[in-house]
Amino acid sequence: MLTKTAEAGALIWRHWQDGTVMESLPPELRPASRADGYAIQTELAKYSQKPVAGWKIAATSAAGQKHIGVDGPLAGRLLAEFLLEDGATVSVATNRMRVCEPEFAFRFARDLPARTNAYSVAEVMAAVGELHLALELPDSRFAVFDKAGGPSLIAEAACARELVVGKAVAADWRALDLSRHTVTGHVAGRYDRQGSGGNVLGDPRIALAWLVNELSGLGIGANAGELVTTGTSVPPLEIGPGDRVTADFGVLGAISVNLS
Protein backbone atom coordinates (compact mmCIF):
# COMPACT_ATOMS: atom_id res chain seq x y z
CA MET A 1 0.00 0.00 0.00
CA LEU A 2 1.30 3.47 -0.92
CA THR A 3 1.92 6.04 1.77
CA LYS A 4 0.00 9.31 1.49
CA THR A 5 3.20 10.98 0.28
CA ALA A 6 3.77 8.36 -2.39
CA GLU A 7 0.10 8.48 -3.39
CA ALA A 8 0.33 12.25 -3.91
CA GLY A 9 3.46 11.81 -6.06
CA ALA A 10 1.73 9.15 -8.16
CA LEU A 11 -1.30 11.37 -8.69
CA ILE A 12 0.80 14.32 -9.88
CA TRP A 13 2.80 12.05 -12.20
CA ARG A 14 -0.39 10.69 -13.74
CA HIS A 15 -1.60 14.22 -14.51
CA TRP A 16 1.83 15.06 -15.97
CA GLN A 17 1.61 12.07 -18.32
CA ASP A 18 -1.99 12.72 -19.34
CA GLY A 19 -1.61 16.49 -19.74
CA THR A 20 -4.57 16.99 -17.42
CA VAL A 21 -5.12 19.24 -14.43
CA MET A 22 -6.71 19.00 -10.99
CA GLU A 23 -8.30 21.63 -8.81
CA SER A 24 -5.92 20.67 -6.00
CA LEU A 25 -4.51 17.61 -4.31
CA PRO A 26 -7.18 15.85 -2.22
CA PRO A 27 -7.20 17.24 1.35
CA GLU A 28 -5.74 14.03 2.79
CA LEU A 29 -2.79 14.20 0.35
CA ARG A 30 -2.15 17.93 0.43
CA PRO A 31 1.26 18.98 1.85
CA ALA A 32 0.99 21.15 4.94
CA SER A 33 4.55 22.49 4.77
CA ARG A 34 7.44 23.01 2.40
CA ALA A 35 9.09 19.87 3.84
CA ASP A 36 5.94 17.87 3.03
CA GLY A 37 6.01 19.28 -0.49
CA TYR A 38 9.62 18.23 -1.01
CA ALA A 39 8.83 14.74 0.29
CA ILE A 40 6.09 14.39 -2.34
CA GLN A 41 8.46 15.74 -5.01
CA THR A 42 10.93 12.99 -4.09
CA GLU A 43 8.24 10.39 -4.73
CA LEU A 44 7.23 12.06 -8.00
CA ALA A 45 10.80 11.90 -9.32
CA LYS A 46 10.92 8.14 -8.74
CA TYR A 47 8.64 7.68 -11.76
CA SER A 48 11.31 9.01 -14.11
CA GLN A 49 13.22 6.30 -15.97
CA LYS A 50 16.44 8.34 -15.83
CA PRO A 51 18.57 9.86 -13.05
CA VAL A 52 17.55 13.36 -11.97
CA ALA A 53 19.34 15.85 -14.26
CA GLY A 54 19.51 18.64 -11.71
CA TRP A 55 17.35 21.36 -10.20
CA LYS A 56 15.38 24.44 -11.06
CA ILE A 57 14.54 27.44 -8.95
CA ALA A 58 11.11 28.95 -9.38
CA ALA A 59 10.09 32.43 -8.30
CA THR A 60 13.51 34.07 -8.03
CA SER A 61 12.09 37.34 -9.34
CA ALA A 62 9.28 39.52 -8.03
CA ALA A 63 7.40 38.92 -11.29
CA GLY A 64 7.84 35.16 -10.97
CA GLN A 65 6.61 35.16 -7.38
CA LYS A 66 3.57 37.21 -8.35
CA HIS A 67 2.88 34.93 -11.32
CA ILE A 68 2.48 31.79 -9.16
CA GLY A 69 1.28 33.45 -5.98
CA VAL A 70 4.20 32.74 -3.62
CA ASP A 71 6.42 34.96 -1.49
CA GLY A 72 9.80 33.30 -2.05
CA PRO A 73 11.79 30.86 -4.19
CA LEU A 74 10.94 27.17 -4.64
CA ALA A 75 13.23 24.31 -5.68
CA GLY A 76 12.25 21.58 -8.11
CA ARG A 77 13.95 18.57 -9.65
CA LEU A 78 14.77 18.65 -13.36
CA LEU A 79 13.86 15.35 -14.97
CA ALA A 80 16.14 14.30 -17.81
CA GLU A 81 13.28 13.50 -20.19
CA PHE A 82 12.26 17.18 -20.21
CA LEU A 83 15.70 18.59 -21.12
CA LEU A 84 16.06 19.62 -24.77
CA GLU A 85 18.78 21.10 -26.97
CA ASP A 86 19.04 24.64 -28.30
CA GLY A 87 16.69 25.16 -31.27
CA ALA A 88 14.29 22.39 -30.21
CA THR A 89 10.61 22.43 -31.13
CA VAL A 90 8.26 22.08 -28.16
CA SER A 91 4.52 21.55 -28.17
CA VAL A 92 2.61 23.86 -25.85
CA ALA A 93 -0.72 22.20 -26.59
CA THR A 94 -1.26 21.19 -22.97
CA ASN A 95 0.85 23.94 -21.39
CA ARG A 96 -1.40 26.32 -19.50
CA MET A 97 1.15 28.77 -18.12
CA ARG A 98 2.17 29.73 -21.69
CA VAL A 99 5.34 31.61 -20.73
CA CYS A 100 9.00 31.22 -21.67
CA GLU A 101 11.80 32.23 -19.32
CA PRO A 102 15.45 33.03 -20.24
CA GLU A 103 17.75 31.71 -17.51
CA PHE A 104 21.35 31.30 -16.40
CA ALA A 105 22.09 27.62 -15.66
CA PHE A 106 25.17 26.29 -13.87
CA ARG A 107 26.62 22.79 -13.99
CA PHE A 108 28.54 21.48 -10.99
CA ALA A 109 32.00 20.02 -11.49
CA ARG A 110 32.20 18.61 -7.96
CA ASP A 111 29.89 17.59 -5.15
CA LEU A 112 28.62 19.88 -2.42
CA PRO A 113 27.47 17.49 0.34
CA ALA A 114 24.66 18.44 2.69
CA ARG A 115 26.00 20.02 5.86
CA THR A 116 24.83 21.95 8.92
CA ASN A 117 26.43 25.33 8.18
CA ALA A 118 25.42 27.28 5.10
CA TYR A 119 27.55 27.39 1.98
CA SER A 120 28.81 30.81 0.88
CA VAL A 121 28.36 32.05 -2.67
CA ALA A 122 32.13 31.74 -3.18
CA GLU A 123 32.13 28.10 -2.04
CA VAL A 124 29.24 27.25 -4.34
CA MET A 125 30.78 29.00 -7.35
CA ALA A 126 34.07 27.21 -6.76
CA ALA A 127 32.21 23.94 -7.34
CA VAL A 128 30.74 25.11 -10.68
CA GLY A 129 32.32 23.86 -13.87
CA GLU A 130 30.19 25.42 -16.61
CA LEU A 131 27.63 28.08 -17.37
CA HIS A 132 24.82 27.31 -19.83
CA LEU A 133 22.07 29.45 -21.29
CA ALA A 134 18.55 28.06 -20.89
CA LEU A 135 14.93 28.67 -21.81
CA GLU A 136 12.33 27.24 -19.47
CA LEU A 137 8.71 26.48 -20.37
CA PRO A 138 7.18 25.96 -16.91
CA ASP A 139 3.76 24.47 -16.36
CA SER A 140 1.50 23.33 -13.54
CA ARG A 141 -0.95 20.49 -13.04
CA PHE A 142 -3.14 22.68 -10.84
CA ALA A 143 -6.10 24.35 -12.52
CA VAL A 144 -5.58 27.58 -10.58
CA PHE A 145 -1.83 27.37 -10.07
CA ASP A 146 -1.50 30.86 -8.62
CA LYS A 147 -3.73 29.78 -5.72
CA ALA A 148 -2.19 26.32 -5.13
CA GLY A 149 0.31 27.58 -2.56
CA GLY A 150 4.03 26.99 -2.12
CA PRO A 151 3.94 23.46 -0.59
CA SER A 152 1.72 22.09 -3.37
CA LEU A 153 3.78 23.77 -6.10
CA ILE A 154 6.93 22.29 -4.55
CA ALA A 155 5.22 18.88 -4.63
CA GLU A 156 4.90 19.12 -8.44
CA ALA A 157 8.59 20.06 -8.79
CA ALA A 158 8.06 23.82 -8.70
CA CYS A 159 6.24 23.93 -12.04
CA ALA A 160 9.10 22.17 -13.84
CA ARG A 161 8.54 21.04 -17.40
CA GLU A 162 10.59 21.49 -20.59
CA LEU A 163 13.99 23.16 -20.30
CA VAL A 164 15.97 24.01 -23.43
CA VAL A 165 19.69 24.03 -22.61
CA GLY A 166 22.52 25.41 -24.73
CA LYS A 167 26.09 24.18 -24.88
CA ALA A 168 28.57 25.36 -22.26
CA VAL A 169 29.30 29.08 -22.65
CA ALA A 170 32.73 29.57 -24.22
CA ALA A 171 33.19 33.19 -23.14
CA ASP A 172 34.94 34.04 -19.86
CA TRP A 173 31.71 34.38 -17.90
CA ARG A 174 33.47 34.38 -14.53
CA ALA A 175 34.96 37.77 -15.41
CA LEU A 176 31.49 39.30 -15.77
CA ASP A 177 29.17 40.75 -13.15
CA LEU A 178 26.18 38.53 -13.88
CA SER A 179 23.95 40.66 -11.66
CA ARG A 180 24.30 43.51 -14.18
CA HIS A 181 24.42 41.39 -17.33
CA THR A 182 21.65 42.33 -19.78
CA VAL A 183 19.41 39.66 -21.29
CA THR A 184 16.87 40.31 -24.05
CA GLY A 185 13.99 38.01 -24.88
CA HIS A 186 12.65 38.12 -28.45
CA VAL A 187 9.28 36.65 -29.41
CA ALA A 188 9.81 36.82 -33.16
CA GLY A 189 7.58 39.29 -34.98
CA ARG A 190 5.69 40.23 -31.83
CA TYR A 191 7.75 41.87 -29.10
CA ASP A 192 11.05 42.10 -27.20
CA ARG A 193 11.53 42.28 -23.44
CA GLN A 194 14.68 43.08 -21.51
CA GLY A 195 15.98 42.09 -18.12
CA SER A 196 19.20 41.21 -16.35
CA GLY A 197 20.81 38.77 -13.97
CA GLY A 198 19.76 41.14 -11.21
CA ASN A 199 16.17 39.90 -11.57
CA VAL A 200 17.29 36.54 -10.14
CA LEU A 201 17.44 37.12 -6.37
CA GLY A 202 19.74 40.04 -7.17
CA ASP A 203 22.32 37.78 -8.86
CA PRO A 204 22.04 34.26 -10.38
CA ARG A 205 25.08 33.24 -8.31
CA ILE A 206 23.19 34.15 -5.15
CA ALA A 207 20.25 32.11 -6.42
CA LEU A 208 22.51 29.12 -6.98
CA ALA A 209 23.81 29.36 -3.41
CA TRP A 210 20.20 29.59 -2.18
CA LEU A 211 19.41 26.33 -4.00
CA VAL A 212 22.41 24.52 -2.52
CA ASN A 213 21.50 25.63 0.99
CA GLU A 214 17.80 24.84 0.50
CA LEU A 215 18.75 21.29 -0.48
CA SER A 216 21.33 21.02 2.27
CA GLY A 217 18.63 21.84 4.82
CA LEU A 218 16.71 18.82 3.51
CA GLY A 219 19.78 16.58 3.82
CA ILE A 220 20.30 16.59 0.04
CA GLY A 221 23.66 17.37 -1.54
CA ALA A 222 24.33 18.94 -4.92
CA ASN A 223 26.20 16.51 -7.15
CA ALA A 224 28.85 16.84 -9.84
CA GLY A 225 27.23 16.83 -13.29
CA GLU A 226 23.92 18.25 -12.09
CA LEU A 227 22.52 21.33 -13.81
CA VAL A 228 20.79 24.12 -11.89
CA THR A 229 18.72 26.68 -13.75
CA THR A 230 18.35 29.74 -11.57
CA GLY A 231 15.12 31.46 -12.59
CA THR A 232 14.03 33.94 -15.19
CA SER A 233 16.25 36.94 -15.85
CA VAL A 234 13.54 38.56 -17.97
CA PRO A 235 9.90 39.05 -16.92
CA PRO A 236 8.10 35.94 -18.24
CA LEU A 237 7.52 36.05 -22.00
CA GLU A 238 3.93 35.30 -23.00
CA ILE A 239 3.97 32.75 -25.80
CA GLY A 240 1.74 30.56 -27.95
CA PRO A 241 1.89 27.96 -30.75
CA GLY A 242 3.85 29.18 -33.75
CA ASP A 243 6.13 31.48 -31.78
CA ARG A 244 9.90 31.36 -31.98
CA VAL A 245 11.59 32.64 -28.84
CA THR A 246 15.23 33.71 -28.70
CA ALA A 247 17.10 34.89 -25.63
CA ASP A 248 20.10 37.08 -26.37
CA PHE A 249 22.72 37.03 -23.59
CA GLY A 250 25.14 39.33 -25.42
CA VAL A 251 28.75 38.14 -25.30
CA LEU A 252 27.58 34.90 -23.68
CA GLY A 253 25.59 33.90 -26.76
CA ALA A 254 21.94 33.22 -27.59
CA ILE A 255 19.48 30.34 -27.34
CA SER A 256 16.14 29.68 -29.05
CA VAL A 257 13.08 27.45 -29.04
CA ASN A 258 10.26 26.89 -31.54
CA LEU A 259 6.75 26.42 -30.18
CA SER A 260 4.16 24.23 -31.87
Q: What is the pLDDT of residue 68?
A: 83
Q: What is the pLDDT of residue 132?
A: 99
Has residue 13 been placed in a domain? no
Which candidate, 192, 95, 187, 75, places its Cα nearest to that of 137? 95
pLDDT band at 99 (very low <50, low <70, confident <90, very high): very high
The b-or-e profile of 206-221 (16+ CB within 10 A means b, else e) is: bbbbbbbbbbbeeebe
**CA atoms within 13 A of residue 239's CA, in its CB half-sphere:** 37
- Residue 87 and residue 2: Cα distance in Å, rounded? 40
Element (H, E) at 130: strand 128-137
Has residue 46 been placed in a domain? no
- Residue 257 and residue 120: Cα distance in Å, rounded? 34
Q: What is the pLDDT of residue 69?
A: 83
For residues 72 and 240, which has the higher predicted lDDT (pLDDT)?
A: 240
Q: What is the pLDDT of residue 139?
A: 96
Which candidate, 95, 31, 109, places its Cα nearest to that of 259? 95
Per the structure, the count of domains in the chain is 1
pLDDT band at 37 (very low <50, low <70, confident <90, very high): very high
DSSP secondary structure letters along 32-64: SSHHHHHHHHHHHHTT-SS-EEEEEEE--SHHH
Has residue 142 been placed in a domain? yes
- Residue 42 and residue 25: Cα distance in Å, rounded? 16
- Segment 169-186, tens digit of pLDDT: 999 999 999 999 999 999
Element (H, E) at 7: helix 4-18
- Residue 240 and residue 99: Cα distance in Å, rounded? 8
Q: What is the pLDDT of residue 77?
A: 98
Has residue 33 been placed in a domain? no
Q: What is the pLDDT of residue 201?
A: 96
Q: What is the pLDDT of residue 260?
A: 98
Answer yes or no: are the C-beta atoms of 16 and 46 closer than 8 Å: no
Q: How many CB atoms lie within 10 A of CB 41?
A: 26
Answer yes or no: are the C-beta atoms of 142 and 156 closer than 8 Å: yes
pLDDT band at 2 (very low <50, low <70, confident <90, very high): confident
CATH number reported for the structural domain that contains residue 197 in this entry: 3.90.850.10
The pTM score is 0.96
Q: Looking at residues 234-244, what average pLDDT do you find?
A: 97
Element (H, E) at 227: strand 227-232
Answer yes or no: are the C-beta atoms of 90 and 137 closer than 8 Å: yes
Domain residue limits at 208: 51-259
Which candidate, 31, 59, 72, 70, places its Cα nearest to that of 155? 31
Has residue 206 been placed in a domain? yes
Angle, vertex CA 230, rays to CA 17 and CA 22, nearest 5: 30
- With 90 as the cut, is the pLDDT of residue 155 above it? yes
Has residue 251 been placed in a domain? yes
- Residue 46 and residue 13: Cα distance in Å, rounded? 10
- Segment 246-260, tens digit of pLDDT: 999 999 999 999 999
- With 90 as the cut, is the pLDDT of residue 1 above it? no
Cα end-to-end distance, the chain, whole Å: 40
